[in-house]
Each structure stands twice: as structure tokens, then as C-alpha cells.
């Protein structure tokens, strides 16, 4: 419900009307919330640009790249990621049926679920091939995004993330059990 997202703002407005002290209290509270959001966003941005730079560019594209070049690539990728995220935010804000905060949190959990197989199986299953979590993550996220227009499958009460997680696990297990020659010919593992 869209009105439930407005409760916090209404409570802040009521508190601010009480006195100058309460107004400043709300300002400090909102500043703390903004600082928490910014620190999280900053950490995610740095992590994503570092992963793209070191794990993809440096490992796959240019292993001989100098630290200076990697730093430049990392900074450039940070700008690309910020631009993509800003475009997504503008797009979501332009929708007639804007997603509520609860819906955005729901989407976040659907996407975060896809990290589970890589971490959990990676710690406990020695037979998992190194490329399997990547392909599982890609397939799970693709299914999650494909199911978003449908929404929660109300007949079953199951969120898109659960379907994505199921596919993700199936892909990780399938790739890990593929004989190396088949996996290599399909481009799923490095030679």
C-alpha cells in the first residue's frame, strides 16, 4: 500500500511541529539516515567497481595492466555504475505506478537471495567448479527480472527470488557436474 510508505514522513512532520528542539531532532535523525544510506551506497559502488576492474578486466581482458591503469579503469567504471543506477532511479520515478519502499526492499531481497549458492556451496562443497556460481547468479537474476512484471505469484504466494534461487542452484549443480570437456566447449569454464 502506497500510504504505508508515508507514515514515517507524517510522524516526522507531527514531531517537528511540537518545538524548535523537536525540529532539530528530526533534522539530526534524517541526517543519520542519509549518512547510513550514503555509506552503504559508497561501499557498494567501490565493491562493484573493484570487482569489475580486478575480477573481470584484470583477469580476463588485460592481465598485464599496471596499477595506474587499473585505478583509472576502476574510477571510470564507478562513473558508469553511478550513471546506470541514476538512470534506473529516474526510470523507476517516472513510472505511473511508482514502486513503494516496501516493493524496493522486496526486490532487494529477491536479488540478494541469488548470492546464497555461491557463498554457502562455495564454503561447503569442494566439487563446485569456480565458474558455476557466476552462471548460477546470472541465470537466477535473469529469471527474477523476467518475473518482476508478473509480481508475486499470488496463487502460490511465492516471490520471484525463490524461483530465481531454484534455477540458480540447478545451474550451479549442473555446471559443477558437467564433465570438464563439455563445460569447456560450452564456454562455462576457463581452459
Per residue in 20-33, pLDDT tens?
Answer: 999 999 999 989 98
Q: Quick one: cell of 150? A: 508478473
Judged by average pLDDT, the poorest of 1-10, 56-65, 68-77, 82-91 is 1-10
Q: Which residues contact 99 (CB under 8 A, 6 or more apart)?
A: 92, 107
pLDDT at 106: 80
Q: Quick one: cell of 31? A: 541526517
Q: Where are the alpha helices (DSSP H) in 95-128?
A: 101-112, 116-124
What's the CA gap between 81 and 107, in Å, rounded?
Answer: 19
Q: Over the chain, what is the mean pLDDT?
A: 84
Strands (E) across 1-118 are located at none
Provide the percentage of residues in the chain whose pLDDT is more than 90.
33
Whole-model pTM over 0.85: no
Amino acid at each position: 500500500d502506497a500510504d504505508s510508505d508515508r507514515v514515517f514522513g507524517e510522524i516526522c512532520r507531527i514531531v517537528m511541529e511540537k518545538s524548535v528542539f523537536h525540529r532539530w531532532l528530526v533534522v539530526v535523525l534524517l541526517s543519520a539516515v542519509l549518512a547510513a544510506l550514503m555509506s552503504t551506497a559508497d561501499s557498494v559502488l567501490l565493491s562493484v567497481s573493484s570487482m569489475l576492474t580486478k575480477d573481470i578486466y584484470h583477469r580476463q581482458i588485460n592481465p598485464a595492466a599496471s596499477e595506474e591503469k587499473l585505478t583509472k579503469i576502476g574510477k571510470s567504471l564507478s562513473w558508469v555504475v553511478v550513471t546506470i543506477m541514476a538512470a534506473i532511479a529516474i526510470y523507476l520515478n517516472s513510472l505511473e505506478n511508482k514502486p513503494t519502499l516496501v516493493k524496493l526492499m522486496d526486490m532487494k531481497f529477491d536479488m540478494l537471495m541469488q548470492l546464497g549458492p555461491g557463498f554457502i556451496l562455495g564454503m561447503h562443497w569442494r566439487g563446485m567448479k569456480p565458474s558455476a556460481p557466476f552462471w548460477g547468479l546470472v541465470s537466477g537474476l535473469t529469471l527474477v527480472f523476467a518475473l518482476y512484471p508478473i509480481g508475486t505469484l499470488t496463487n502460490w504466494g511465492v516471490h520471484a527470488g525463490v524461483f530465481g534461487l531454484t534455477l540458480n542452484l540447478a545451474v550451479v549443480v549442473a555446471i559443477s557436474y558437467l564433465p570438464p570437456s563439455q563445460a569447456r566447449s560450452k564456454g562455462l569454464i576457463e581452459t
